Amino acid sequence: MSEKVISGSRNVAIVGPYLSGKTTLLESLLFVTGAISRKGSVKDGNTIGDSAGEARDRRMSVEVSAASTEYNNTRFTFIDCPGSVEFAQETYNALIGVDAAIVVCEPIRDRVLTLAPLFKFLDDWEIPHLVFVNKMDRANIHVLETLHALKAVSSRPLVAHQYPIMQGEQLTGFIDMVSEQAYQYHPGAPADPIPFPEHLKAEEHTARAEMLEALANFDDHLLEELLEDIEPPQEEILSDLKMELGADLVVPVFFGVAEQDYGVRPLLEALLREAPEPESTAQRRLKDSKASNTPLAQVLKTYYTPQGGKLSLVRVWQGKLTDGIVLNGVRAGGIYRLMGQQQHSVNEAGVGEIVALSRLEGVKTGDILSTEKPIALPKVEQLEPVYALAITPEKRNDEVKLSAAITKLLEEDPSLAWEQHGDTHEVILWGQGEIHLQVALDRLRRKYNLPMSTHLPQVPYKETIRKTVNSVHGRYKHQSGGHGQFGDVFLDIKPLPRGEGFNFKETIVGGVVPRQYIPGVEMGVREFLSHGPLGFPVVDVAVTLTNGSYHNVDSSEQAFKQAARLAMQTGIPQAQPTLLEPILRIQVTTPSEFTSKVLQLLSGRRGQILGYEGRNDWQGWDNISAYLPQAEMQDFIVELRSLTLGVGYFHWEYDHLQEVPEKLAERVIAGNGSNGHSK
């Protein structure tokens, strides 16, 4: 067999809403280009895109997956991205490394609306993208309605690259809008040219005129031709499509049925002819830096393979990666082209390729790699965690192994976070939602043999006091065997304004409590405050040591510590202890049509609305600011998503402590720190 000449490459991400058919489309792209000889299906769990166990189990993609193939002497590397919002970070991290993205969507209005955040990301980063309307075997809305819904969520003009030929709800062929040639689809074979279907003449004509007008907005020559009623040559339309797609000025739309390979070849043709070459993507990303051949690559994704090896999926922005290359001071173990979970070793990777490098210890997703000091390149913003679970190893001895395993999980997935909570001592895993965390826990079990049990994290309540009590007496006297223990103190206990924490003073005169014992008093007070009478740490309290007495032989720092504890034990319950809860300041972002529902959701969760306004940078979307008790945050994201077609999200930060309403406080105290969720 003669060696094939590869004359170019394209890196294309496959993105779009949950379950729109991205993994199925990748399977079809690999099949029609001959990279696989049999197509797998998501249902049977044997696709290239979803070959990881966590994806197979759920019949959904949970991480990006790369696969390379060849078509017309061009190497295509596709990156199949997960659609669930809970894995959006994966998608964003990978998107910045591709030359173009295929946005796969279903012909369903509500599903199309969920594309808004993705379109915004693509436009913010100027990533050329086209739309593939999939599942056209079940299209129960008219083509024009689908286009209309798409136009409503894209800030860039959409141009129909094809006009679908339908028979009822089933796609049977298409009219290519550049050549106006009609084609008929056949199962298992390329489409055949057919005569133009006369009944579509009017619709097709309007759609084509709209396409040409959209293109002419960026090409004066084309505009003149249109004004003068001159039919523009096909080459001109194609070159405009290429230029305008490449600059993210327009969004071409295609239609198909990935399951039957319908529309997949025309899509490939368009990518080949119209998607920008890797060189122009590199130019766009490396804008300010001088051209050079120094190897420069960026990590789009980190994998720990089931065998335990580390793989960094990188985009080569500049120069060439060769076997044994040292990047950022670390020697790469090998260079691989990926096919889902399979790795094919190669000797080198040229500029514009996406390949995996093994054993780059210490290198993280997003990192810029070079043989010299790497230049700075823009990085993707990290999503804030919005959902948490407290985790404990099922086997006690596993605690030691846990932190190393979690570090690896976080390298693979930067939208996870973890903390060991200072007050509650729980290990808390933070992420983007329930499924996201379940996948992380699956990985802990599968790859690191660390089965975990989970529970809802405790709310870190605190206590404070409302009243001042003066001269509270505490005396510790103990006689046992040798010499005894004696400490004796009087304390004034006073509430402090919110947020002031704790302070300790003494006003001892005449040495009634000798200097050396005073630190013991403070220690006793602090120890008591770490666990107040309601079961939580006590804050915003001032304690003053005003008086006391001692014994020449029996007194000690330890005895004064005990005396102080006793005084606190008596004093704090008299000072009206009350429960405080952490309040978060949150900012919810939602399409304006759901704003009033979100306001209701917040109020129903004891939220205090601070204001809301339309976003200047995102038409049709609002920002709502509010205070929200942390106790109400646990599944807030779940409800927010269910109210907003899944696209609403929020930022949060701890703001202040606030008294818990009495009824609720009683419940929390009765449950001794259990989550006081008010439903």
d(CA 387, CA 643): 17
User: Which one of the spans 230-238, 256-264, 372-380, 542-550 is the region binding ligand GTP (CB under 6 A)?
Assistant: 256-264
Residue from 123, 145, 210, 259 touching ligand GTP (CB under 6 A): that is 259
- Give the footprint of Mg ion on residues 597-616 (CB under 5 A): none
Establish if 607 lies at the interface with ligand GTP (CB under 6 A).
Answer: no
Decide if 97 contacts 123 (C-beta within 8 A): no
In terms of CB distance, is 23 or 595 closer to Mg ion?
23
- Give the footprint of ligand GTP on residues 446-485 (CB under 6 A): none
Establish if 135 lies at the interface with ligand GTP (CB under 6 A).
Answer: yes
Residue from 6, 73, 138, 233 touching ligand GTP (CB under 6 A): that is 138
Amino acid at 81: C
Report what 541 binds from ligand GTP, Mg ion, none; CB cut-off 5-8 Å by kind. Answer: none
Residue from 8, 18, 109, 196 touching ligand GTP (CB under 6 A): that is 18
Decide if 102 contacts 117 (C-beta within 8 A): no
> Closest distance between Mg ion and the C-beta of residue 55, in Å?
7
Establish if 111 lies at the interface with Mg ion (CB under 5 A).
Answer: no
How many residues in the shown chain lie near ligand GTP by CB under 6 A?
Answer: 22
- Give the footprint of ligand GTP on residues 369-428 (CB under 6 A): none
Long-range contacts of 281-285 (CB under 8 A, 24+ apart): 281/11, 281/98, 281/99, 281/352, 282/317, 282/318, 282/351, 282/352, 284/126, 285/96, 285/317, 285/377, 285/378
CA dist 271 to 32, 74, 154, 499, 568, Å?
14, 10, 20, 58, 74
Residue from 23, 146, 302, 595 touching ligand GTP (CB under 6 A): that is 23
> Closest distance between ligand GTP and the C-beta of residue 312, in Å?
22
User: Which one of the spans 16-24, 445-453, 472-480, 596-604 is the region binding ligand GTP (CB under 6 A)?
Assistant: 16-24
Contacts of 435 (CB under 8 A, 6+ apart): 58, 62, 84, 86
List the structure tokens of 619: 């038409």
Write out the E strands in 348-455: 348-349, 354-358, 368-370, 387-393, 417-420, 427-431, 452-455
Strand, coil or helix: 595 = helix
> Closest distance between ligand GTP and the C-beta of residue 537, in Å?
43
Establish if 263 lies at the interface with ligand GTP (CB under 6 A).
Answer: no
Report what 122 binds from Mg ion, ligand GTP, none; CB cut-off 5-8 Å by kind. Answer: none
Amino acid at 46: N
In terms of CB distance, is 135 or 208 closer to ligand GTP?
135
Binding mask 57-96 for Mg ion (x = CB under 5 A): ----x-----------------------------------
Establish if 60 lies at the interface with ligand GTP (CB under 6 A).
Answer: yes
User: Which one of the spans 20-28, 117-125, 626-634, 667-675 is the region binding ligand GTP (CB under 6 A)?
Assistant: 20-28
User: Which one of the spans 133-141, 188-196, 429-437, 443-451 is the region binding ligand GTP (CB under 6 A)?
Assistant: 133-141
Contacts of 97 (CB under 8 A, 6+ apart): 11, 79, 298, 300, 314, 315, 354
Decide if 177 contacts 160 (C-beta within 8 A): yes
In terms of CB distance, is 374 or 646 closer to ligand GTP?
646
User: Which one of the spans 255-263, 384-392, 405-413, 615-623 is the region binding ligand GTP (CB under 6 A)?
Assistant: 255-263
Amino acid at 457: P
Angle 332-338-340 from CA coordinates, rounded to 5°: 135
How many residues in the shown chain lie near Mg ion by CB under 5 A?
Answer: 3
List the structure tokens of 386: 């919005």
In terms of CB distance, is 188 or 611 closer to ligand GTP?
188
> Closest distance between ligand GTP and the C-beta of residue 20, in Å?
4
User: Which one of the spans 41-49, 400-408, 598-606, 651-659 is the region binding ligand GTP (CB under 6 A)?
Assistant: 41-49
**Nearest residue relative to ligand GTP (C-beta):** 83
Per 3-state DSSP, the chain is made up of helix, strand and coil in percentages (nearest 5) of 30, 30, 35
In terms of CB distance, is 24 or 33 closer to Mg ion?
24
Decide if 359 contacts 310 (C-beta within 8 A): yes
d(CA 100, CA 216): 22
Report what 137 binds from Mg ion, ligand GTP, none; CB cut-off 5-8 Å by kind. Answer: ligand GTP
> Closest distance between Mg ion and the C-beta of residue 80, in Å?
6
Helix ranges restricted to H, 45-162: 53-58, 88-95, 109-113, 116-124, 143-153
Establish if 24 lies at the interface with Mg ion (CB under 5 A).
Answer: no
d(CA 174, CA 191): 9
Q: From 438, 439, 387, select the one nearest 641 (Cα to Cα).
A: 387
Amino acid at 229: D
Establish if 22 lies at the interface with Mg ion (CB under 5 A).
Answer: yes
Establish if 23 lies at the interface with Mg ion (CB under 5 A).
Answer: yes
Establish if 236 lies at the interface with ligand GTP (CB under 6 A).
Answer: no
User: Which one of the spans 53-61, 184-192, 423-431, 607-615 is the region binding Mg ion (CB under 5 A)?
Assistant: 53-61
Decide if 356 contacts 336 (C-beta within 8 A): yes
d(CA 111, CA 102): 16
Contacts of 545 (CB under 8 A, 6+ apart): 489, 490, 491, 504, 505, 506, 507, 508, 513, 518, 521, 522, 564
Residue from 40, 79, 83, 325 touching ligand GTP (CB under 6 A): that is 83
Binding residues vs ligand GTP (CB under 6 A) = 18-24, 41-43, 60-61, 82-84, 134-135, 137-138, 257-259
Binding residues vs Mg ion (CB under 5 A) = 22-23, 61
